Amino acid sequence: MTSFSFLHVEYLLQAALWTVLLSLVAFVCGGSFGFVIALGRISRSPLLRRLASLYIQVVQGIPLLVVLFLTYFGLAIAGFKLSPLMAAGISFAVYCAAFLGEIWRGCIEAVPKTQWEASECLGFNRFEQLQKVILPQAFKIAIPPTVGFMVQIVKNTSLASVIGFLDLSRAGQIINNSTFQPFTVFGCVALIYFCICYPLSALSKHFERKLNVSNR
Amino acid sequence: MHYTFDFMSVFVNWPRLLDGAWLTIQLSALSTISGFVLGTLCAIAFKSKSRLLQTLVKMYVEIIRNTPLLVQVFLVYFGLASLGLRLSAETAAVIALTVNVGAYTAEIMRAGINSIHAGQIEAAECLGMSKFHVYWHVVLLPAVERVYPSLTSQFILLMLSSSITSQISAEELTATANLIQSETFRSFEVYVVIAVAYLALSFLFRGAFWLIGKTAFVRKRKLGTNL
């Protein structure tokens, strides 16, 4: 039995890099797919709207853990041999897309309706309306909740450990199995997560205050 | 792709899945109630004049909201055991979930209490209501009514994240699924089935919360308007 040492901390920090990497993959992939979902939710075609909202309802009604298992085993059945990083990345993209899509739909709808009408009067087509008038304004509204959701992503990547992805939580479990000092090990793990997440939370709050100047 | 789906080997185990789902419901209901009480108390403490209480609540909320539930569950289960406090997996799960949802509820309830206009409280005082009555009828209940939708979605998220407690072998729905898949090797089928089960559970919870909202908020039921 070895005791918890500086070497272990180094191992944890290395694993933390994987956590950050997976979070970035999840955010980029989930974000692009989520953007499509958000556009689907505000589309003029009822079918697209229905499909997007069905997707959101289903994914938000299933635990991320089960989404992870489903992608991991489901893709294996379909004949894809995926590394845990790929499998985790895909599951997180699926999961984040549902939440980000719903968040961003709210932000797009928060842009006053008169903006749509005014831009229509200027002769913009729907694409131009979105690109030149609505999205730039929605983007500003979307920053605080999106940064806030990044915290959720980082925390949720801890679940990737169950399909064998060597992230911060998995590293913690491995070290705990050899040192039997759960309080120190998981306390340290929690501290590293906190150091990643707290700045993001604070940033989100900062943006929110900045945006809310009139209501202060 | 040569794979034949075999859902039968999952369905023969349905009594176990049902037991698992029942434990999921129990875990979620218990930690929802205790977490709500804890969170509300924290929100009240945060509004108090004591600086110490404010700092403590703030620290609690920030620490919980910025660390993953999985690590919190491990800390409660393995950490407390190493200190000599041996808990069953289910007890540890309820404690971890309560502490977790308590922090989120505290934030939501704080927003709710903040949204009560000072004039309301002054008016209630002018009517000669006691301090307790003012707090209960004018501050707390309307605050809950206002933030009820956010509370509801938080509690449904809690129900879904109770699946995480399968990692300390609390025998809820996901843990049961893990067991069944290790016996039958029908992993994909098992997880499809419990995904549908979770979906049904979240609809069930949504319905239950709707019903609770209908019975608890008399004013809203009668007038049909938001506060």
Q: What is the model's pLDDT at position A215?
A: 60
The rounded distance, in Å, linking the Cα atoms of B187 and B185 is: 5
Nearest alpha carbon to residue A56 among B153, B87, B83, B189: B153
Instruction: Say yes or no: A23 contacts chain B, CB-CB below 8 A.
Output: no
Does CATH number 1.10.3720.10 belong to domain B12-223? yes
Range of A54's domain?
A: 6-215
Let me know if residue A1 belongs to a domain.
no
User: Which residues of chain A neighbour B161 with C-beta distances below 8 Å?
Assistant: 63-64
Indicate the angle between helix axes B173-184 and B14-47, nearest 10 degrees.
150
Let me know if residue A87 belongs to a domain.
yes
Check pLDDT > 60 for residue A37. yes
Could you tell me the pTM of the whole model? 0.90
Question: Which of B71, B72, B191 is the closest to A70 by Cβ?
Answer: B191
Handedness of CA B95, B98, B100, B102 (dihedral sign): negative
CATH number for position A161: 1.10.3720.10
For chain B, the maximum distance between any two Cα atoms, rounded to a whole number of angstroms, is: 77
Could you give the number of structural domains in chain A? Answer: 1
User: Which residues of chain A neighbour B194 with C-beta distances below 8 Å?
Assistant: 66
One pLDDT digit (tens) per residue for chain B, 227 residues: 567 788 888 888 889 999 999 999 999 999 999 999 999 999 999 988 899 999 999 999 999 999 999 999 999 999 888 888 888 999 999 999 999 999 999 999 999 999 999 899 999 999 999 989 999 989 999 999 999 999 999 999 999 999 999 999 888 999 999 999 889 888 888 999 999 999 999 999 999 999 999 888 887 778 877 77
Let me know if residue A211 belongs to a domain.
yes
Instruction: Please state, in angstroms and as integers, the Cα–Cα distance from residue B143 to each residue in A132, B8, B129, B183, following that order.
Output: 40, 49, 18, 49
Map B45-84 to HEC letters. HHHCCCHHHHHHHHHHHHHHHCCCHHHHHHHHHHHHHHCC
Q: Which residue of A has its CA nearest to B3?
A: A77
CB atoms B79 and A172 under 8 Å: no
Let me know if residue A167 belongs to a domain.
yes
Q: Find all residues with CB under 8 Å of A76, minimum gap 6, and list them.
A: A82
Instruction: Say yes or no: A74 contacts chain B, CB-CB below 8 A.
Output: yes
* ipTM score above 0.85: yes
